[in-house]
Amino acid sequence: MDAFWIILTGALVAICCSLLGCFLILRRMAMVGDAISHAVLPGIVLAFLFSGSREVWTMLIGAALLGVACTFLIEFFHKKANVQADASIGVTFTWLFALGIILISVFAGKVDLDQDCVLYGEIAYVPLDIWLTENGTNLGPRTVWIIGGVLVVLLTFIGLFFKQLYLTSFDPAFAAAIGLSTTLWYYLLMGAVSLTTVAAFESVGAILVVALMVGPPATAYLLTDDLKKMLLISAGAGIIASAAGFYLALWLNGSVAGAISAIIGVQFLLAFIFSPTHGLVSRRQKLAPLSPSL
């Protein structure tokens, strides 16, 4: 039963991250997830300092607020100071992550706020954190309910506003010309990324969140030019990586998060070589008839 909960948790996180990752890839902002996952650290510390509590919901609220602030700063430096997007991401998240480290060392040095836990997580412990009702009914791991709720919100968000997300991601100039606010949809998308990152990193760790937000969408990007198919392929690749990674870790007696990330890397490598449209093999086959004339 523990294996089922671990794989289910990984699959739910994979679907959430993969769906949002597709839009980030199209916007050339794939590393925003990485930035947010690191930048939430000062939010966790500040939430503890103000509340004096280490309750999960308090930490999540503090982390979510810093995640949104991170996306605001990235956009502010990019638009107002004409800093390149990648440089804006790099400056913002390293500064906020360093601030979190300083806050821990100065104000919370004697408190068990382990930054390694934030970064690496441990999905294998998910079955231990169960949700019990007042009458003692076991509802299963709490993480599954949290991530499941986030997935419902994301599916509703993408289902209702797919056209707006599609247009503002592919052609911002056209979207602005027909009256869509690219800034509004940017912040709504980044808010969804912050929500997913914060909800997921407690159990699976920031590193796996980043791997799932970038790897499966990048693999799907190589396999299709259709956004709807890209979303489905990306989610499917994430689910397969979660299940295969778990059994690989079981076989090797190693880290589950590390094994899932390794499977994601293998998937991307296979797509890079064998993709029917953008793969290395297909591109060489297309160039082959031209070689004699060259």
Q: Which structural domains are found in the chain, ordered by start?
A: 1-273 (1.10.3470.10)
Please report the pLDDT score of residue 120 as a whole number: 59
CB under 8 Å to 240, separation ≥6 — which residues? 263, 267
Please report the pLDDT score of residue 81 as a whole number: 77
Burial class, 118, CB count within 10 angstroms (exposed 0-12 / middle 13-18 / buried 19+): buried
Please report the pLDDT score of residue 162 as a whole number: 92
Please report the pLDDT score of residue 98 as a whole number: 85
What are the per-10-residue average pLDDT scores of the chain (294 residues)?
85 92 86 77 79 71 80 81 79 83 73 56 75 77 87 93 89 84 86 82 77 91 91 94 92 87 93 85 73 53
Please report the pLDDT score of residue 182 as a whole number: 84
pTM: 0.83
